[in-house]
Amino acid sequence: MFRSPYLRRIAAYIFLMTFASTVLYFQQADLLGQAFGDDRGASREFLAWIDLSTNILTILTQGFLAAHLLRWLGIGLSLAFLPALAFLGFLSLGTYPLLAVLVVLQVLYRSGRYAVARPAREVLYTVVGREERYKSKAFIDAAVYRGGDLVNGWIYTGLVALGLSVGAIALVALPVMGVWVAVGLFLGRAQEEKARPSQREAPVTDLS
């Protein structure tokens, strides 16, 4: 991964995704605490409804829309879809730091992550060699993903220690989401460039 700029971009995309996911996780905990206090039963029931809504939307999107979106938008725009959604969501949350806004953002973000961004990410590995694919993917999915959770958790803790509110932290996340959009677009372009030689070299089968 450290020798390949392409794989480093994939790792950067995953790290930035963990930043958005971690911020949303802690913001959800903060707003739930404000809304329900010590009533853990009500909090769990509320989270269960979020999970149910996310799963239903994910199944519908992945079953009926994901393949069409990948074909219509291409890999770059499909990868940029999730960070663009997160950008708009954090902007809304920064303007209106309410639990209802966060719930809508969480459901859309998580369903988009699994139904659109995940298939697009898997396509990225189809243009690298077998050894690169399996070694780098295992490292990125484990070390980068889990390490990103840890690092970004401390970043969020630091922002809270500075006295930033949920809304302020959402606004701080906006430029990071902008970088994430750019990484997704660059990745899509790089994937298309890597795919072209293999398409030109592919044998032509006469079906007549």
Q: What is the pTM of this model?
A: 0.88
* Closest to 185 measured CA to CA, from 114, 79, 86: 79
List the domains of the chain with CATH numbers: 5-193 (1.20.1250.20)
Q: Which residues neighbour 117 within 8 Å (Cβ) at sequence distance 6 or greater?
A: 17, 78, 79, 81, 82
- The tens place of each residue's pLDDT in the chain, 208 residues long, gives 888 899 999 999 999 999 999 999 999 999 998 888 888 888 899 999 999 999 999 999 888 888 888 889 899 999 999 999 999 999 999 999 999 999 999 999 999 999 999 999 999 998 988 888 888 888 998 899 999 999 999 999 999 999 999 999 999 999 999 999 999 999 999 999 988 764 444 444 444 3
